[in-house]
Structure 1
Amino acid sequence: MTATRRAGSAALPATVAGVLLCLLGPAAPAAHADGGYRYWSFWERDAAGRTWTYATQGAATTTPADGAVQGFRFAVSQNSQDAAKPRGNADFETVCAKTPAKDKAKRVALLLDFGTPQDAPEGDTPPPARSVCAQAGADATTAELLARVARPLRYDSSALLCAIAGYPRTGCADQVSGSGDSAGVSPGATAPTAAATPSVSASDQEGGGPSAGVLVGLAAVLALGAAAVWQSRRRRG
């Protein structure tokens, strides 16, 4: 009887660990140090005009306000956390100084950064970065504004933004090896892109810690475990 009780007590930590694994999930795999995706990322400038923030929606569903500043950067990145930001400052007053305001229309400053030669697909040379002022109706999306000032745009069959102003000539969010060569994997929807930016949850924005629900569940499991240990010791006594 005693051996059985001891075995049950010894098995308790394993049981608790198993429940915790169900609650928290396995550890996320570490990102590979090499390789990534070659794609256009989509950014928004903060109200103060000092910081670029990775957009939480795609260009096709984002409706910027009049006076907004947005940017696109072509580069090889592993995910939204390490994505290269647009280079240079984009001041709305400067970019749109020569574009008169119109009734029932808005103006948005767009910074287009075509990236570096190291990130360019083989055979392509990135054009110089440029800032443009896009003007359209008040309900126009970023994608519609982009189409007014940076044609030709190229999309794939999944509405993934592949090229701005014809760059790059081929490919669409291709996965590349550490050497920068294409890994031969079809782009799919796994790469973050300007047309399909991955959503970010509140926990992601605050550092990716466990949610409140998980913490409550964790506390409950620990409490049950402690009660079981106390009950086992009481019976032995």
Structure 2
Amino acid sequence: MATPLRRTLGALGALVLALLVVAGTARTADAADGYKYWNYFHVEGGKYAFAQTGPADFTPKDGTVEAYRYGLSTAADGLPPRTDATTYTVEDICAGTEAGSGEKLVGVLLDYGTAADADGGQTPPAPRAACAAVPTAANGQQVLDAVADLRLDKGLTCGIDGYPASGCSVTVKNPPSAAAAATVDFALPEAASATASPDAAGTADQAASETDDGGVPWTLIVVVVVVVAIGAASFVLSRRGKNL
């Protein structure tokens, strides 16, 4: 028969074990939580470096690229944009744009994420790149504000270009396993697209080739020649008719 002391020790042991189980379960649940938010990165050495501060507390250097990706993240190193960090350089993004006196050029990659991560039935905008020509001392938030409409809350970037329309860093309990993300294309700014597009140069070359040394299109010359020939033929036929 168990003594009171043994019963007491057994009860205490069971209580300690239960507390350990509860604590372990709580830690597991916390670790499993995910967050939907705008993940913020710097592009360094051809790789994405998850930002350790908010954009307002970081000053990008001239000629660098900043990157943002909205989505559900469960990893400590964030959810990177769906393109390689070396695909779009600042030279690509800012082609055709020049920095003024006291300004710097910073490329910005904006990945609005997938439909699976969308909130409230919203459709994520297509990924795009933007070039910010901003004062040299501009911080990351000022860079972003120069190329997008921002919704902020206590220093947090909650929405970019109205996406998502509401909420800020939403907690997701027991999130699904992260799916492999396919690479996507980012739309370049119009200035960069025009600089990089061979069609624009081809159209200009074609227009130049259609002019003679005097600057008159050869097609107009052909039309004039045809009209003159028809007029001459009509004149000859009318003269023959009078002589008959």
Q: What is the aligned partner in structure 2 of residue 17 from structure 1?
A: none
| 1:45-79 alpha-carbon deviations (Å, 9 max, x no partner) | 113xx211101221001111100111001011124
Aligned residue for 1:60, secondary structure, equals helix
CA distance in 2, matches of 1:115, 1:75: 6
2:142 matched to 1:149? no
Question: Which of the numbers 138, 155, 160 marks the counterpart of 1:159?
Answer: 155
Q: What is the aligned partner in structure 1 of residue 39 from structure 2?
A: 41
2:81 matched to 1:86? yes
Give the C-alpha shift of residue 32 in structure 1.
5.6
**TM-score normalised by length of structure 1:** 0.58
Question: Which amino acid letter does the alignment assign opposite residue 57 of structure 1?
Answer: T
Aligned residue for 2:55, secondary structure, equals coil
Q: What is the aligned partner in structure 1 of residue 206 from structure 2?
A: none
CA distance in 2, matches of 1:177, 1:155: 24
Please say if residues 95 and 131 of structure 1, whose CA atoms lie closer than 8 Å, have aligned partners that are also in contact: yes
**TM-score normalised by length of structure 2:** 0.57
Please say if residues 45 and 68 of structure 1, whose CA atoms lie closer than 8 Å, have aligned partners that are also in contact: yes
Aligned residue for 1:111, secondary structure, equals strand
Q: What is the aligned partner in structure 2 of residue 184 from structure 1?
A: none
Aligned residue for 2:57, secondary structure, equals coil
CA distance in 2, matches of 1:31, 1:171: 22
Give the C-alpha shift of residue 101 in structure 1.
2.4
| 1:107-134 alpha-carbon deviations (Å, 9 max, x no partner) | 0000000011111112211111100001
Q: What is the aligned partner in structure 2 of residue 59 from structure 1?
A: 55
Question: Which amino acid letter does the alignment assign opposite residue 152 of structure 2?
Answer: Y
Q: What is the aligned partner in structure 1 of residue 136 from structure 2?
A: 138
What is the identity percentage for the equivalent residue pairs of Structure 1 and Structure 2? 38
CA distance in 2, matches of 1:31, 1:66: 42
Please say if residues 90 and 110 of structure 1, whose CA atoms lie closer than 8 Å, have aligned partners that are also in contact: no
Q: What is the aligned partner in structure 2 of residue 224 from structure 1?
A: none
CA distance in 2, matches of 1:176, 1:44: 25
Please say if residues 36 and 70 of structure 2, whose CA atoms lie closer than 8 Å, have aligned partners that are also in contact: yes
2:171 matched to 1:175? yes
Instruction: Note the 1:1-237 alignment, pairs <5 A.
Output: 29-30=27-28, 34-47=32-45, 50-81=46-77, 83-88=78-83, 89-151=87-149, 153-156=150-153, 158-178=154-174
CA distance in 1, matches of 2:62, 2:29: 38
Report the CA distance shift for 1:36/1:136 in structure 2 as closer, same or farther (over 3 A).
same
Please say if residues 81 and 111 of structure 2, whose CA atoms lie closer than 8 Å, have aligned partners that are also in contact: yes
Q: What is the aligned partner in structure 1 of residue 212 from structure 2?
A: none
Bigger helix fraction = 2
Give the C-alpha shift of residue 91 in structure 1.
1.0
CA distance in 2, matches of 1:110, 1:118: 24
Please say if residues 155 and 162 of structure 1, whose CA atoms lie closer than 8 Å, have aligned partners that are also in contact: yes
Aligned residues: 149
Report the CA distance shift for 1:139/1:31 in structure 2 as closer, same or farther (over 3 A).
farther
Comparing both chains, which one has the higher relative contact order based on Cα–Cα distances under 8 Å and sequence gaps of 6 or more? 1
Question: Which amino acid letter does the alignment assign opposite residue 93 of structure 1?
Answer: E
CA distance in 2, matches of 1:59, 1:109: 14
Aligned residue for 2:143, secondary structure, equals helix
CA distance in 2, matches of 1:100, 1:42: 25
